[in-house]
């Protein structure tokens, strides 16, 4: 059986086994473009092929027939698929990635007509990206969920950046929803289908700039959501994380359910949910935000905005933290004064500041490397990022200790020093021993284990 030659429809218009498999998978993912793996290519057929060829500017061909009609098709190489995915996501598409789950040789053992087993392993949507090639390293990529409990008059917004692991929820309302969405700028917003029947809310959502994903209301059921959250975080109740309203649990549960759906069971590392108090951040409406040019100029450019002018950070995570703080300025005096104490200490301690800044500049983007590793999309270089991040954390802790009056450290910097000093030395040493000096991008390329680490691997 040649799986590649058996992809088109039969001469009489009936579906071949491969095309029947494709149609079954496509039926289950009708709202997505289906990237159907065939050897070294992802193939697209029918309307998917026409849409992809148009938006990617690639050739559309026609081969074979189905129900008496020619089958439109196009394809992209697997090894460069990320660049095509990025363009399709920017065009507003969702993409289902269908992989071969076995070698064609294994399929042949089941008979000459057996088809290579395939299944969808991931849904790629604007709010569920983890690859560096698909993300802006210096900006958060938020996925948000809006939920309402009508009988209680509650509305809540939950959000996560799965590439960084944070999970937050806050009460909102029709009067402040637009401002909340403006400060978060979510790439994707999931909502119960029933909410779109509310004209006022629908107008706010349509103007948010986020890709809207309506889902059945059952996915936002608060009781199911609470069970899902407790199971994921391995707790009996959510009480230790805060006193959440029904709407907040509904939003969190719907968000987690959608992440599970798109990642097909391979959940990224998410920190326990944090409840943001309604008055924790200054509420700035969209018009004021635009006129202040906090994140973008009036012409929509990042260059020239306040954020671009003051961003002197040396790490991607630091740039994301600065953007988040500027987009949502704290309204808590204790928080603001604590940050001012940290800044004052570092301004006065020039040697310590320079040492810490140099150590920070060598840090990789640990958050996003860890996110890829936990969902099975990481590579040897992500392991190296984890190793170097652990080493860098220990260096930062040591930098505070050198020539510093630790008793005079402000609370924020003291907490930072302690956490950096708790980095796992054993894991750092093990990764240092295992990983080669020169690392490939992908595991399949081999050669990432240091020679001499294991005799069996050296002889393989």
Global pTM value = 0.90
In a domain, 368, yes or no: yes
Domain boundary among 220, 245, 278: 278
**Bridge partner residues of 77 (DSSP):** 41
Q: Are residues 57 and 157 in the same domain?
A: no
3 state DSSP class of 312: coil
Looking at residue 460, its pLDDT comes to 59
Looking at residue 351, its pLDDT comes to 86
Q: Are 322 and 329 in contact (CB under 8 A)?
A: no
What is the number of domains present in the chain?
3
Q: Are residues 41 and 150 in the same domain?
A: no
Looking at residue 252, its pLDDT comes to 98
Per the structure, the complete domain to which residue 100 belongs is given by 17-124
Q: Are residues 95 and 148 in the same domain?
A: no
Looking at residue 67, its pLDDT comes to 81
Looking at residue 445, its pLDDT comes to 84
Looking at residue 5, its pLDDT comes to 43
Q: Are residues 109 and 36 in the same domain?
A: yes
Euclidean distance between CA atoms 234 and 204, whole angstroms: 36
In this structure, what are the phi and psi dihedrals at residue 446, rounded to the nearest 5 degrees?
A: 70, 180
pLDDT in tens, the chain (460 residues): 345 444 454 444 577 889 999 999 999 999 999 999 999 999 999 999 999 999 999 999 998 888 878 899 999 999 999 999 999 999 999 999 999 999 888 888 888 778 999 999 999 999 999 988 899 999 999 999 999 998 778 999 999 999 999 999 999 999 999 999 999 999 999 999 999 999 999 999 999 999 999 999 999 999 999 999 999 999 999 999 999 999 999 999 999 999 999 999 788 899 999 999 988 999 999 999 999 999 999 998 999 999 999 999 999 999 999 999 999 999 999 999 999 999 999 998 888 899 999 999 999 999 999 999 999 899 999 999 999 999 999 999 998 877 666 778 899 999 999 999 999 999 999 999 999 999 998 888 888 998 888 777 666 5
In a domain, 349, yes or no: no
Looking at residue 413, its pLDDT comes to 94
- Candidates 244, 240, 247, 177; CA nearest to 208 is 177
Helical axes 177-184 vs 199-206, angle rounded to 10°: 20
Q: Are residues 247 and 153 in the same domain?
A: yes
Query: Looking at residue 169, which CATH number applies to its domain?
Result: 3.30.420.110
Domain boundary among 68, 94, 124: 124
């Amino acid at each position: 059986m040649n799986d590649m030659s058996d992809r088109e429809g039969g001469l009489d218009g009936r579906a071949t086994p491969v095309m029947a498999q494709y149609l079954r998978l496509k039926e289950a993912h009708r709202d997505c473009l289906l990237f159907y793996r065939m050897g070294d290519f992802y193939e697209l057929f029918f309307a998917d092929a026409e849409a992809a060829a148009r938006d990617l500017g690639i050739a559309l061909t026609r081969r074979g027939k189905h129900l008496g009609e020619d089958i439109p098709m196009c394809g992209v190489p697997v090894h460069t698929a990320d660049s095509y995915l990025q363009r399709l996501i920017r065009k507003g598409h969702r993409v289902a990635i269908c992989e071969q789950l076995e070698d064609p040789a294994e399929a042949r053992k089941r008979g000459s007509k057996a088809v290579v087993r395939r299944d969808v392993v991931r849904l790629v949507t604007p709010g569920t990206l983890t690859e560096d090639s698909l993300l802006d390293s210096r900006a958060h990529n938020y996925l948000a969920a809006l939920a309402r409990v009508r009988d209680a008059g509650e509305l809540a917004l939950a959000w996560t950046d799965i590439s960084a692991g944070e999970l937050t929820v806050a009460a909102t309302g029709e009067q402040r929803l637009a401002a909340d969405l403006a400060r978060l700028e979510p790439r994707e917003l999931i909502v119960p289908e029933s909410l779109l029947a509310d004209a006022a809310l629908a107008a706010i959502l349509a103007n948010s700039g986020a890709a809207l994903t309506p889902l059945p209301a059952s996915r936002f059921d608060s009781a199911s959501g609470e069970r899902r959250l407790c199971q994921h975080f391995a707790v009996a109740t959510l009480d230790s994380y805060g006193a959440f309203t029904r709407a907040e649990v509904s939003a969190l549960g719907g968000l987690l359910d959608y992440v599970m759906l798109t990642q097909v069971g391979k959940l990224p590392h998410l920190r326990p949910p944090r409840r943001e108090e309604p008055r924790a951040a200054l509420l700035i409406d969209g018009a004021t935000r635009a006129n202040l040019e906090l994140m973008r100029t009036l012409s929509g450019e990042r260059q020239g905005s306040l954020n671009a002018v003051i961003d002197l950070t040396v790490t991607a995570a630091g740039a994301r933290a600065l953007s988040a703080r500027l987009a949502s300025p704290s309204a808590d005096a204790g928080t603001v004064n604590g940050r001012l104490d940290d800044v004052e200490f570092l301004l006065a301690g020039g040697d310590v500041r320079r040492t810490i800044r140099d150590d920070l500049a060598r840090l990789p983007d640990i958050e996003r490397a860890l996110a890829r590793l936990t969902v099975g999309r990481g590579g040897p270089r992500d392991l190296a990022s984890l190793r170097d991040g652990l080493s860098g954390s220990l260096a930062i802790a040591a930098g505070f200790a050198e020539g510093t009056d630790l008793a005079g450290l402000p609370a924020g910097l003291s907490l930072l020093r302690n956490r950096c000093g708790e980095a796992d030395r054993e894991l750092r040493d093990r990764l240092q021993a295992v990983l080669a000096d020169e690392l490939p991008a992908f595991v399949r390329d081999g050669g990432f284990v240091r020679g001499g680490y294991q005799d069996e691997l050296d002889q393989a």
